[in-house]
Amino acid sequence: MTTYLDELESIRYWLGDDRRIVETIAGRYIGASPPIPFVLRASYENGILQDEEGLFDMNMNDRLPEARLGDYAYLCGLVWGETGRSVDLRLRCLGPVRLYVNGKLLYRSTVTDEIKKGPDAGVLIGVDFAKGWNTLVVKVRKTAAGFGCLLGTEEAKVRILNVLAPFTERSGQAGWVHTEALREDSWQEGAWPDLRGPETETGLVWYPQREWPEEKRSVLPCERMFGLKQGKSAYAWSRLKVPAAGGTVRLSGYSAGPITVWLNGIEVMSREEAGDFVHELPAFTQPGDHDVLIRTTCGAAGWGFQISASIGKSACEWVQPHPVRGTDEKWLYAGPFDQEISYTPDQLRNVRSLFRTKAPKSQRGDSFTAHTYWQLDGPGLRVRPFYENALLSSKWTTSGVTNFARWDYPLGVTMYGLLQTGRLLGRRDMVAYAEEHIKLCTDMYEYSLWDKERYGFPAVNQQLVMMRMLDNCGSFGSAMLEAYKESRDPGYLAVADVIADFIHRRLERKADGAYYRVCAGEYSENTLWADDLYMSTPFLVRYYQITGKREYLDDAAKQFILYKKYLFMPEWNVMSHVYDFKYNTATYIPWGRGNGWCLFSLSEILAVLPEEHPDRPAILDFYNEMCEGVAALQCESGLWRQVLNDPDAYEEASCTAMFTYAFARGVRHGWLRSVEPFYSKALRGWEGLTSKAIDRHGNVYGVCSGSRYAFHAEYYKEDLRTVTNDNHGIGIMMLAGIEICKLTESRERSEEPHEIRG
């Protein structure tokens, strides 16, 4: 028997079967993952950006065209590790390369690495990042064959690597910095300068340049940012701090053209003429912070403004209207806009939206070239939101690392669990937390598409934007539609339409219509996974419920029948994890969670599939067969094993929760051929989880980490170990507890004595 907890540590010891168990799990998760939004950072549009694979493009031939053969260049960055973490970096050489991490040489290119080209080129480098700050230095040298490299993480949309600029002058800015071309190897190994110290002390010139060139420093901000564009307008946003003492606030300054000023969304000043101005704000200006928005138009005298605020002889302070790391700039700017484009202050005072700069035209459509976002008064200096809540976490976030506003499939199940927990307990705060997590992703969807188009690789919503497989969309999309039942947020439906189109019309299928993974050149090339039933069918079912489009429900039903054909093991009445078309065979390994995804999803479709649907009898039979096979393999502890039919495999919590959930739903809804055995099995499963895998603080143990696949059980038993508070288990643990609560409460109601009348 696998042991994760002592009896006195378990939540069952303290709470028994109380519904507060799910409340505790949800509360612990929310407490460990506070609602931290995306981080806004100063970022250079002419800096070292990522390509579509997520590799940082360090081709120095493009950046240093004046470099001579034999010249060197250095590229430096900082990476923050939330926890100590091993990460695989992929590096493709364009010439000689050396990679140093925390001052130590980690990789030196070979002549083969330097010359080999094409999609198969490159090496994988395991990097053990320490907790805290990690320094990265890439040293490259120019040859006739090339100069530089491409560097990033494997599967960058999942394993997100955020690199921050070194040096105190750039503290908080996003991105790498690089030197000019150097004739000599200026830094010898073991003598690196302090990358968290002053840039000026390195004795080298670094790019991107931080300062405007001399000829632009005397020009008004809008002109140096946007150039002279007669008739165009721009907006500037800041916040004015009025001291507690209060008094009459006076604005004074200079405008090169027409200017309008809004205070907290109310227009307080408008001038058509250029020149100096002095203007007193209305008496309603109270002490505290006030949003100030300015619209300025390019006139014959130039473009832009200077402004100050004072009370008597004391100057008032301007502060950033929204925190932007890596800059002391107090104003954010957006532009240039065509004359016919105007925004209300309420539309502009946010960081979740793009702004259209040109009027829509039929030939232009909704191209993102006609949009913009906030920027800063610096050469190529932009504001860019980044997802940074799980810096250098594992592929799937673990204990101690926050997860808020990340779009990925385990978090889809977690949000589903939180929504249902909040509903069961009447905890609107829990529902609101899940809704805000989802809404932050959907609100930023349009921006994230633009971000990818502009910068090459999105800094937020990576999996949604780079949607190439079911893992990227179906699970979180299903949770999004579950939240839509209450929020009715139109942004959810806009994203759902994209996902539905991808799954139903663009996803790879076998000739019979079964979803599968093409993944050309990857380990999983040409395979079909039991997991993908959950990554697709619950979303399709909910999309059908909302839109009434029957073809999506029919497609979901069809997948169960097809997947059973490929994966079902009739001798055990359970599913193989994967079918590999390269070998034309299933793996015949009944991985616990793979079967859990399948049985979980069967319960999702049976709850919606009409009685008269032609596929319902087959799906109901499939559900009953699986339930019978799974039930026979339950351990004495109430848990199920990592490999279901292997007595030497460890007992695993996430599959146990999924089976418990599916059994309890079947009993409640009357789907099972015989009820009592599964009622007992469901209760035993929940008892096993609460006594052996959930502690009294709501921590969840015994959940297998994210899986690849194999044709032997040893991989699942020995390579896939358990992780505490892994998101593959937290949400489904809540859902299992909710179903047990509903089941036991419905049983209690049905057994209440009735008054006999006569």
| Rounded percentage of the chain residues whose pLDDT exceeds 70 | 96
The alpha carbon of residue 374 and the mean position of all alpha carbons in its chain are separated, in whole angstroms, by: 21
Report the run of H or E that residue 262 belongs to, with start and end: strand 259-263
**Diameter over CA atoms, the chain:** 106
Residue 48 pLDDT > 60: yes
Please state whether beta strands 72-81 and 132-141 pair in parallel, antiparallel, or not at all (unpaired). antiparallel
Closest by Cα among 686, 710, 413, 708 to 534: 413
CA torsion angle 358 364 370 371 (round to 10): 110
Strands in 322-452 per DSSP E: 332-337, 355-356, 371-372, 381-386
**Per-residue pLDDT tens digits for 359-418:** 776 544 556 779 999 999 999 999 999 998 765 444 334 444 568 889 999 999 999 999
In the structure encoding, which two tokens stand for residue 220, read together?
């008004």
Domains 7-33+391-746 and 220-378 share a fold: no
Fold annotation for 7-33+391-746: Glycosyltransferase (1.50.10)
Residue range 42-207 forms a domain whose CATH class is mainly beta
Q: How high is the pLDDT of residue 284?
A: 67
Separation CA 480–CA 538 (nearest Å): 11
* pLDDT score for 253: 96
Neighbours of 252 (CB within 10 A): 14
Query: Do residues 382 and 44 make contact, with C-beta atoms less than 8 angstroms apart?
Result: yes
Give 472's pLDDT tier (boundaries 50, 70, 90).
Answer: very high
**What value does the mean pLDDT of the chain take?**
92
Q: What is the DSSP letter of 591?
A: B
Copy the structure tokens of residue 695. Answer: 């502690």
Q: What is the pTM of this model?
A: 0.93
Cα separation of the two ends of the chain: 56
**Would you say the C-alpha torsion 15, 18, 21, 23 has a positive or negative sign?**
negative
Amino acid present at 345: P
What are the angstrom distances between the C-alpha of 366 and each of 337, 359, 454, 496, 649? 15, 10, 15, 19, 54
Residue 611's pLDDT is 96
Is 631 within 8 Å of 603 (Cβ atoms)? Answer: no
The pLDDT tens digits of the residues spanning 17-36 come to 899 999 999 999 999 999 98
- pLDDT tens-digit map of 83-115: 777 889 999 999 999 999 999 999 999 999 999
What are the tens digits of pLDDT across the range 485-495? 999 999 999 99
Residue 661 banded pLDDT, cuts 50, 70, 90: very high
Of 415, 512, 501, 411, which is closest to residue 463 (Cα–Cα)? 411
CATH number given to 220-378: 2.60.120
Partnered with residue 39 across adjacent β-strands are 386
Q: Supply angle C-alpha 161, 162, 168, rounded to 5.
A: 140
Taking Cα atoms as reference points, which of 551, 658, 678 lies closest to residue 600?
Answer: 658
Residue 452 and residue 465 in contact, taking contact as beta carbons nearer than 8 Å: yes
- pLDDT at res. 751: 61
Domain assignments of the chain as residue spans, ordered by start: 7-33+391-746, 42-207, 220-378
Mean pLDDT throughout 458-472? Answer: 95
User: Cα 743 to chain center, whole Å?
Assistant: 34
- pLDDT, tens digit (0-9, with 9 covering 90-100), for 298-337: 988 889 999 999 998 899 999 999 999 999 999 999 999 9
Q: Tens digit of pLDDT for each residue in 281-301?
A: 887 678 889 999 999 999 888
Contact predicate 182/93, CB 8 Å? no
